[in-house]
Amino acid sequence: MKKDFMFTSMSVTEGHPDKLCDQISDAIVDAYLDQDPQARIRAECAVSTSILFIAAKFNSTAKVDIPYTARKVISQIGYTEQDFDASSCSILTSLQEFPPDELTNFREMEMTEEEIDRIPGRHQVTVFGFACHQTPALMPFPVWMAHRLAWRLIKAKRRNIIPYLSPDGATQVGVEFRNRRPYRIHSLTIIATINKAASVSGRKIYDDVRQAVIDEVFDTEEIKPDTQTRIYINPVEHVMVGGPAVHSGLTGRKNAMDTYGEYSRQSGSALSGKDPLRIDRVGAYAARYAAKNVVAAGLAEECEIQLSYSIGLSRPVSVQVETFGTGTISDEEIAERVERHFDFRLAGILRNFQLRYLPGENNGKFYRRLAAYGQVGRLDLDLPWEAIDKVEFLKENKL
């Protein structure tokens, strides 16, 4: 396993067209589950200049105005200009009802263990969870810092610190590692797009972003940019305009940013736009939960959990653990403890995390908040899969 290397991860702001689609998709999921926790809903979006397409399938007693929900998200993100305006963009929908399915009509909070064991997964997928001792959230340092820069960029816009910014932006952080630990900042790249009506020089954008974003984010960090760090802010000859008027977006196209910035593996399945009955979504949360507890328990400096599910079975057919040579006990022993103390069954995950009820408990706004700046490793949200309540069980290997 390589110990000295350079690694980069990216993030984008909530106004990036792909993330706009993710947020609309998850806002629709929230809207259904807020009214009807038993709802089945899938929603995917595609966006381009002046047009948004939504494909949704559902089975629910809820009444949701899908175009209204989409326009509300677009407006809140800040798209109110002529080229892409929340009030005037065209919205096309393709809506279809799921047929009734008794296998999905269950109440996990009232079920026995035997009943939970009879609820099968409906999809075939391999999902991954990861944790490491690089940040307070036990996340890889490159993607952690990329998210912080992206969040600070949008905050500078919202607070009128840099008022000419558009909602669309991107960040990239390159980090040199020594002995598999972050050592120095190799490079920083920020794409800070501007409103079409703004008139501002590239030099001013550079100075404003350097001061209000980069300097602010790294002010409290132990590892900071040094004199050799390469810093690029809009590294092109012209000032950039962003948003759907410039480039299109699609739900589920930013999986690496939703998870670990490609420092660890992730599934190819989208996380956004799916109710919690989809094991390819909730299984990824369960895998993160297990990996984080393994690292928090001191059993490894880094831990990747792999869960493989087959259609028709309630439990994963394979649970694999990789600690990259950092484990204090064998990977096989960690895997045995993980399987003993974590419930990876679909209905078990739903019950333990209460995933169908979280939108109702959060004023209809839970899954949409996950759709930008990462679905794991969030310290700003109270996410059940970020809890480290299994540490003592893993340490002592209790039954």
pLDDT digits (tens, 9 = 90+) for 164-203: 999 999 999 999 999 999 999 999 999 999 887 677 888 9
Domain that holds residue 363: 125-134+252-396
Q: How confident is the prediction for the chain on average, in pLDDT? A: 94
Query: What is the per-residue pLDDT for 397?
Result: 64
Q: Among 216, 248, 280, where does a domain finish?
A: 248
115: in domain: no
| Domain identity same for 84 and 152 | no
Range name among 92-106, 210-224, 302-316, 376-390 with the lowest pLDDT average: 92-106
Contact 135, 127 (CB under 8 A): no
Is a pLDDT exceeding 70 seen at residue 238?
no
| Domain identity same for 315 and 375 | yes
Query: What is the per-residue pLDDT for 398?
Result: 57
pTM for the whole structure: 0.95
Query: What is the per-residue pLDDT for 197?
Result: 65
CA distance 257 to 262: 8
pLDDT digits (tens, 9 = 90+) for 204-235: 999 999 999 999 999 999 999 999 999 999 98
If you average pLDDT over residues 305-312, what whole number do you get? 96
Q: Among 248, 276, 302, where does a domain finish?
A: 248
DSSP 48-89: ETTEEEEEEEEE-S----HHHHHHHHHHHHT-EETTEETTTS
Q: Residue 274 carries which DSSP code?
A: B
| Domain identity same for 261 and 354 | yes
Question: What percentage of the chain exceeds 90 in pLDDT?
Answer: 83
Is a pLDDT exceeding 90 seen at residue 237?
no
193: in domain: yes
| Domain identity same for 243 and 302 | no
| Domain identity same for 240 and 267 | no
If you average pLDDT over residues 151-165, what whole number do you get? 95
Is a pLDDT exceeding 80 seen at residue 359?
yes
Query: What is the per-residue pLDDT for 84?
Result: 87
CATH assignment of the domain containing 224: 3.30.300.10
| Domain identity same for 279 and 130 | yes
- Give the pair of three-digit tokens for residue 58: 């559902």
Range name among 27-31, 115-119, 176-180 with the lowest pLDDT average: 115-119
Q: Among 248, 282, 310, where does a domain finish?
A: 248
If you average pLDDT over residues 101-122, what whole number do you get? 85
| Domain identity same for 281 and 228 | no
198: in domain: yes
Number of structural domains, the chain?
3
31: in domain: yes
108: in domain: no
Query: What is the per-residue pLDDT for 2?
Result: 82
16: nearest Cα among 201, 215, 251, 187: 251
| Domain identity same for 342 and 372 | yes
| Domain identity same for 220 and 280 | no
Per-residue confidence band for 1, with pLDDT thresholds at 50, 70 and 90: low
